[in-house]
Structure 1
Amino acid sequence: MSALALVAVLAACAGSPLATSDAPSAPPAKTAPRIPDQVSNAAWETDMQRFAAEDAQSPPPRGGVVFTGSSSIRLWDTLAQDFPGVPVINRGFGGSELRDSTWYADRTIVRYAPRQILIYAGDNDLNSGRSPQQLRADFIAFVERVRRDLPKAEIAYISTKPSPSRAQLLPAQREANALVAAEAKRLGVDYIDVFTPMLDTAGQPNEALFIDDRLHMNAAGYDIWQRVITPYVK
């Protein structure tokens, strides 16, 4: 073999997979949540970082009661006062959907080892186009996710609320609430009906319970929630 041919063979071997098989492989890239399969909005990561900062400054007690879900929880400023003597932890975030709470359960629920989790989610889900059947499936997935790490924790699902700005969703809400209530019974989860007491005498969303956006509640709305939810808090 000529010297030139030998150089060519050596160069080919140097570039072959066998020549580099002992080199350390790069770590796999962290998988980002898929939109919309796993989460409805990747921006919730900002909320997760906010929770971590709050925990670092003032660590919540273990064995408490976590309230999580969408903005109706996030905006519940009087949560601690409404449940005196209960070590409540508010982990509501953005306009989240039920599947978001499932995806971020390790950072909003599991890390606190709570004795009970109360979740409000489903309103935004239906508004974004998810069906009552999808919401039922998302509810089952949430319960399974929580029980994987917290098999002894109690779970309570707060039904969707009837908002004046989303009155067109009432039929879908009624169907979804009924489907989730049936699954909750089967799974041993408390189902809390806030839908019915928030209707007016005509069976429509009670305008008096909402702020100007006709979506989020005022103090009167939260008073109903406090009264209805209190018997379920453990």
Structure 2
Amino acid sequence: MKKHFLLALLISLACCGVYAQQTFPFANEVKQFQHQDSLNFPKPGGTLFIGSSSIRRWTDMEQRFPGAPLINRGLGGTEIGQWVSYYVPYVVTPYKPAKIFIYVGDNDLAKGKTAQYVADQFSLLWQMIREKLPDAAIYFMAIKKSPARWQAYDKVDMANQIIKAITTTKTKTYFVDTATPILKAGTTLPDSALFVQDMVHFNSKGYDKWEALLKPLLK
């Protein structure tokens, strides 16, 4: 069954060529995930991380959480609306994870989307996941403030507040405050020492902060 599913996806994406890349964002990256799965499909009951580049670039995740059955399916540059429109059937539900950690919304806000839009899309994403994976625990990782995206700070705070409120109304759904630990002590501004040169993505010190926060949740 899994082989048939993977074959159908690969054929459908490959046959469309450039057109598929235009209508199905990051199609090549999704095909790479499916190729990995065809060689070694993750066992059900693992912990799935999905989202944008902050997840994709966390390349030492398995080393930081030894023993945890992790699946990293970050797609760099993705927006939350794209996860709703495209990716759930391909890189979420097939794995039947016990836990799903979501980090997305950062790019939406930077591109001018409103906090309410991001929150509404999270509700849709939650519903799609819950319909297929009724027993999975869903964790929304708070959107971080990045030094290079200071214009979106107010929207980041608002989106996190709205989504946190939404999670309190859902079963087995949790808001993880991954935003506060990266702020300078006593301020509402991000610590630039935790970011690489582009001031958008974490360096190892930034991921240290997330590791300390998430480790108890991955036991």
Rounded to whole Å, the distance in 1 between the matches of 2:66 and 2:165 is 31
Within 5 Å, which residues of 2 pair with 1:126-165? Answer: 126-165=109-148
Rounded to whole Å, the distance in 1 between the matches of 2:145 and 2:175 is 16
Unaligned 5+ segments in structure 1 are: 1-29, 31-39
Rounded to whole Å, the distance in 2 between the matches of 1:43 and 1:175 is 27
Question: What residue identity is the alignment partner of 2:163?
Answer: V
Give the deviation of 1:41 after TM superposition. 7.1
Q: Residue in 1 aligned with 2:184?
A: 200
Percent identity over the alignment is: 35
Question: Deviations along 1:148-195, whole A, 9 cap, x unmatched?
Answer: 110001100001111110011111100000000000111131101111
Select the residue among 44, 50, 55 that pairs with 1:68: 50
Runs of 4+ more than 6 Å apart: none
Question: Deviations along 1:88-116, whole A, 9 cap, x unmatched?
Answer: 00000021111222231111111111111
Within 5 Å, which residues of 2 pair with 1:1-234? Answer: 42-102=24-84, 103-188=86-171, 189-201=173-185, 202-233=187-218
Give the deviation of 1:83 after TM superposition. 1.4
Calculate the TM-score normalised by the size of structure 1: 0.80
SS at match of 1:227: helix
Unaligned 5+ segments in structure 2 are: 1-11, 13-21
Structure showing greater radius of gyration is 1
Structure with greater helix percent = 2
Question: Deviations along 1:110-145, whole A, 9 cap, x unmatched?
Answer: 111111100100100101111111111001001100
Question: What residue identity is the alignment partner of 2:90?
Answer: R
Q: How many residues align?
A: 196
